[in-house]
Amino acid sequence: MKKTSLNKVSYNKIIPLWTSVRNTTQVNSPIIDLAQKIKPKGKILDIGCGTGRPVAEYFADKNLLVTGIDLSENMIAEAESNAIRNSRFFVCDFFDFSSEEKFDAVIAWDSLFHFPKERQKDIYLKVSSLLTLGGYFLFTHGKQEDEHIDQMFGESFYYSCLSKKDVLRLMKKSGFVIKYSIENFSENNDTRHWVVLAKKEFEL
């Protein structure tokens, strides 16, 4: 089974367990910080939006306009059923996504690590092309190069990432300046290997 297909099938299967957890998950402080940096009615792209809760819903409640994309049809169906205001959701692979409008921010919270290893190098130029000059990119990531299959809610998922050094190099080439970089992020019993906020400060 293709890497992306594995994740799509597995996410489609775990909807009940996923929603029971995510509907009660607190929004992490970097997400709150990002929302404060965006002007009212600013446009946000949520990569790997899942059911829209809690992240897209938080942004929408802050009077921001959210576009959410996800490979899982069941996740998007659940997101649409939640009737989150100021939001729209699409079943779409990130690398197939296009938009005539530019976004003020892009967030990829726990999603980049599902992308195929061979496509990881293409993420940052693509994100940069979707952002306005001065737009923000908030994402979570691993610290070391990796590729593996792991279990979540009893289903198999594919994960991969580049090294931190490679990510920083690719971001610089894509017009980004790092605003903060937090390793071993921990908050309310919630942990991430690496959290990064970057700003697009150069057009390519």
Enumerate the domain spans of the chain.
Answer: 3-200
Note the pLDDT of residue 1. 66
- What sign does the CA torsion over 202, 109, 73, 118 have? positive
The superfamily in CATH containing domain 3-200 is: Vaccinia Virus protein VP39 (3.40.50.150)
Q: Which residue type occupies 11?
A: Y
In angstroms, how far is the first alpha carbon of the chain from the final one?
Answer: 36
What integer best gives the mean pLDDT of the chain? 96
pTM of the model: 0.97
Cβ–Cβ under 8 Å, residues 122 and 173: no
- Mean pLDDT across 62-86: 97
Of 1, 2, 3, which is closest to residue 159 (Cα–Cα)?
3
Exposed (0-12), middle (13-18) or buried (19+): which is 76, by Cβ within 10 Å? buried
State how far the Cα of 186 lies from the Cα of 151, in Å rounded to an integer.
22
Residue 183, pLDDT above cutoff 70? yes
pLDDT in tens, 111-166: 999 999 999 999 999 999 999 999 999 999 999 999 999 999 999 999 999 999 99
Q: What angle do CA 138, 191, 67 make, to 5 degrees?
A: 35
